[in-house]
Structure 1
Amino acid sequence: MSMEIAKVAAEAAKQAVADVREGLVRDLDVDDSRHVLPMPRDAADQVRLLFDRQAVPQVPPIRGVPQAARAWRDTTLQCVDTVAHRVRQALWEGERTAPYTDDLEIIGPHGDPKTNLARVHTCITENRPFVSVTVCGSLQRLLVTGHTWAASLSIVAKVPGEPPAFAVATAGHALAADCSEAQLLLPEGLWKLRTEDDTRQPAAPGHVIMPSERRDLETYLGRFYEHIEYVDDTASAIAEAMLSNHMPLGFHYTGHVLQAAVVVVAAAHGFVVRPLTPGGGVMKPWECTRMLSSALTQGVDIPPIVLGQNEMYAKNLAQRLIRVPLAAS
């Protein structure tokens, strides 16, 4: 049931973001246009416009669209509200999660991760079912630029007596996993179970995702990788570019456990996961689940993680990053 809750939440979150984005490319409604363009406020203003006199003097100087910055902030908040509403509606009204509808604690996407983690810890302590939805990256940047790497949603779900399940939802894809299986949402709206028979395109050499905080390594890593993508949020970039497309290698640098669902999802979907710690080896999906479960219970961060399409790529990047102080000197 934990897996089903995570899938329902991911599916609803992905569709919510898609609907908000679709709404941004529609023409303004005629009735709403007066809130965006300067218009006469009363009959006297209309008469002045009719006789080509001074138009509404109260209108401030326009920079693009009036109050554009505020409008984009409001749109971003609307997107978060829409995700929250859709997730709650899908979980509370759907047949797939009916057994836990009354007791299920839905945490996020509003609120900061620290506060929401405290609520998760309470649910674990009291043995209550919960699902957490956390924004990774910048939804405003996603809505403005359309760049699907800009933001995603990290989902953690757990019911008593089961291990937690995890899911990630980007603007274009949704994937879910627990310690024993992995699934992805197909374009037609059905979930597909990943198996060993699934084929994957060969790794593209020289491509790697790195956090923007580590641009200081650009010269050093440039000796090994021709195409380095420095991103503000590695969780979203890995979910979209690696798990859903063909990027072969990434460095997950977000420490907060509620934003780390991508780690378990990647491991279960066949990617190599290596913590950047002394002696850190390849982690199986159940080991990743145990690591995140422990972090949820203790309220601590997880270490930086290297993810690769194969073990050689992941091992080489991990060793190069561990040797950074020596290489930089």
Structure 2
Amino acid sequence: MATKLLYLESPALRDEAIVQEISPAEGQIVNIILDQTIFHCQGGGQQSDRGILLFKSQTSEKDVIFTVNKVSLEKDSGHVLHQGIFPDNILQNEREAIVIGTKCQMVVDKEERLRNSTLHTAGHVIDFLMILANTADNSFIDSPTMKPDGSGIDLRPIRGYHFPDSPYLEYAGLIPANKRAQFVQVMQKLADETTSKSIPVEITMRPFRDIPAEKKALLKGDHSDDEIVRVVGVGGYICGCGGTHLRDVNMIKKLTIRKVICKGVTTRVCYSAEPVELGDVPEDQICAGLSR
């Protein structure tokens, strides 16, 4: 049975699950498959969540802690692998007691989730800003056909990389060399203005047929009418996305447009994004859940 992906709908950082499979990997690393998970799987340009699984001890009042270092989705089976390690000093009978059917408490690392969600949300903001920048001044692109809703976009999104080391967004099309410095300035001004406002991040899951016709062009890939699509919207710009996101754009403390690199037939917008201070964010209000 495939693992239920709770994080697609819920912003919870704590929940319960049941072990479906447990197996050794390399060295001390162990893979645990649960019936459901709140841990975001690595993919879609976003780093996986980290955290811990807590199991009731058989010999003491303290829980047995399994440290989750990486989470990945097996596409063929739909199983989510929680890859990590048990403590070195775990007793053999404690380890042997954790089997199929054992319950555990899942706890996602709050700092990691906040950082990853900030970077991914910032990526959606940049997609939105690309529309604003090029609608305001179409001279940034050679053959402007962009419309306010994003359709007919020349610099159409290709991919995003939202890992902490060097995040960027890549677009099909080129910005002329003599316009790139001005483009960065315009984008930075728009970024400062946008992140100072309250713009809720909207997440919906609905059949493809229910998405407005003018918005369908913004969703990548081929979809059947009955297919349930998870759609993330920022400022009216939408795209299909399985990542985690902040509840509101103004939770990005600082979004910096670092530089623009044009190579071949693509434009890469490199950025950085700082999250708000953790003390300002209650655990259950870091991420957006499904919009009601």
What is the TM-score normalised by the length of structure 2? 0.25
What is the TM-score normalised by the length of structure 1? 0.23
More helix by share: 1
Tell me which of the two structures has the higher relative contact order, counting C-alpha pairs closer than 8 angstroms and 6 or more residues apart. 2
Larger radius of gyration: 1
